[in-house]
Structure 1
Amino acid sequence: MNSPEVLIIGGGPAGSSCAAILAEYGHRVLILEREKFPRYHIGESLIPFTFGPLERLGMIPKMRASHFTKKYSVTFVQPDGRRSQPFYFFTRYDRESVAQTWQVLRSEFDQMLLDNAREKGAEVREETTVTQLLKDDSGKVIGVEVENKDGDKEQLLAKLVIDASGKEAFASNRLGWRIGDPYLNKIAVWTYYKGSKREPDIDEGATTVAFVPDKGWFWHIPQHNDMVSVGVVAEGKYLTRDGVRDPKEIFHREVEQNQWIKEHLATGTPVGQYWLTSEYSRHSKYGASPGLLLVGDAFAFIDPCFSSGVMLALKSGVLSGEEVHKALVEGDLSPQRFAHYGATIRQGVENMRKLVYAFYDPNFSFREVIKRFPEAAGEITDCLSGDVNKDFTPLWNRIREFVPLPDDLPYGVPLAA
Structure 2
Amino acid sequence: MNYDALIIGAGPAGSSAAAILAEYGHKVLILEREKFPRFHIGESLIPFTYGPLERLGMIPKMKRSHFVKKYSVAFVQPDGRASQPFYFYNRYDRESVAQTWQVLRSEFDLMMLDNAREKGAEVLEEISVQELIKEDGHVVGARAVDKAGKVTEYRARITLDCTGKEAFTATRSGWRIRDPYLNKVAVWTYYKGSMREPGIDEGQTMVAYIPDKGWFWHIPQHNDMVSVGVVAEGKYLTRDGVKDLKQIFDREVEQNQWIKQHLSTGASNGEYRILSEYSHHSKHCSAPGLLLVGDAFAFLDPVFSSGVMLALKSGVMAGEEIHRGIVSGDLSPEHFATYGATIREGVENMRKLVYAFYNPAFSFREVIKRHPDAAGAITDCLSGDVNKDFSTLWSQIREFVPLPDELPYGVPLAA
1:138-149 equivalences under 5 Å are 138-149=136-147
Give the corresponding residue for 1:294. Answer: 292
- CA deviation string 1:182-224 (max 9, x = no partner): 0001000000000010000000000000000000000000000
Map of 1:170 onto structure 2: 168
**Matching residue of 2:328:** 330
Please list, as runs of the form range in 1=range in 2, the aligned pairs for 1:103-182 lying within 5 A after superposition. 103-136=102-135, 138-182=136-180
Letter in 2 for 1:373: H
Residues 235-260 of structure 1, C-alpha deviation per residue, up to 9 Å, x if partnerless? 01100000111111100000000000
Give the whole-Å Cα distance in 1 for the aligned partners of 2:5 and 2:319: 10
Partner of 2:312: 314
The Cα shift of 1:37 comes to 0.1
> Could you tell me how far apart the structure 2 residues matched to 1:139 and 1:151 are?
28
Q: How many angstroms does 1:286 deviate by?
A: 0.5
Deviation at 1:3, TM superposition (A): 2.4
Q: Which residue of 1 aligns with 2:5?
A: 6
TM, length-normalised to structure 2? 0.99
Runs of 4+ in 1 over 2 A off after TM superposition: none
CA RMSD, Structure 1 to Structure 2 (Å): 0.6
- Aligned counterpart in structure 2 of residue 267 of structure 1, from 262, 265, 287: 265
Counterpart secondary structure, 1:414 = coil
What SS class does the counterpart of residue 391 from structure 1 fall into? coil
- Cα distance in 1 between the residues matched to 2:330 and 2:398: 42
What is the CA-CA distance between 1:156 and the residue it aligns to?
1.1
- Compute the displacement of 1:95 (Å): 4.2
Structure 1 stretch displaced more, 264-273 or 113-122: 264-273
Per-residue displacement from partner, 1:35-77 (whole Å, max 9, x unpaired)? 0000000000000000000000000000000000000000000
The aligned residue for residue 373 of structure 1 is 371
Give the structure-1-normalised TM-score: 0.99
Asked if 1:84 corresponds to 2:67, the answer is no
Question: Is 1:280 aligned to residue 268 of structure 2?
Answer: no
Provide the C-alpha distance between the structure 1 equivalents of 2:303 and 2:2, rounded to a whole number of angstroms.
42
In the TM superposition, 1:326-365 aligns within 5 A as 326-365=324-363
1:258 corresponds to which of 244, 256, 259: 256
2:86 is matched by which residue type in structure 1? F
Identify the residue that residue 42 of structure 1 maps to in structure 2. 41
Identity value in percent: 76
Q: What amino acid does structure 2 have at the position aligned with 1:402?
A: F
Q: In the alignment, residue 102 of structure 1 is paired with which amino acid?
A: W
Q: Hey, what's the Cα distance between the residues in 2 that align with 1:298 and 1:413? A: 14
Match of 2:380 in 1: 382
Structure 2 unaligned blocks of 5 or more: none
* Distance across 2 between alignment mates of 1:301 and 1:230: 20
User: Take 1:69 and 1:294, find their aligned partners in 2: how far apart are those partners?
Assistant: 31
Unpaired segments ≥5 residues, structure 1: none
Whole-angstrom CA distance in 1 between matches of 2:246 and 2:346: 35
Report what 2:71 is aligned to. 72
Q: Deviations over 1:373-393 (max 9, x none)?
A: 000000000000000000100
Structure 2 counterpart SS, 1:143: strand
The CA distance in 1 between the partners of 2:183 and 2:145, in whole Å, is 33
Aligned to 1:31: 30
Cα distance per residue 1:304-352 (max 9 Å; x no partner): 0000000000000000000000001111110000000000000000000
- The question of 1:217 aligning with 2:215 is answered yes
Structure 2 equivalent of residue 17 of structure 1: 16
CA apart distance, 1:96: 1.4
Give distance in 1, aligned partners of 2:400 and 2:174: 36
SS at match of 2:29: strand
Deviation of 1:272 (Å):
3.6
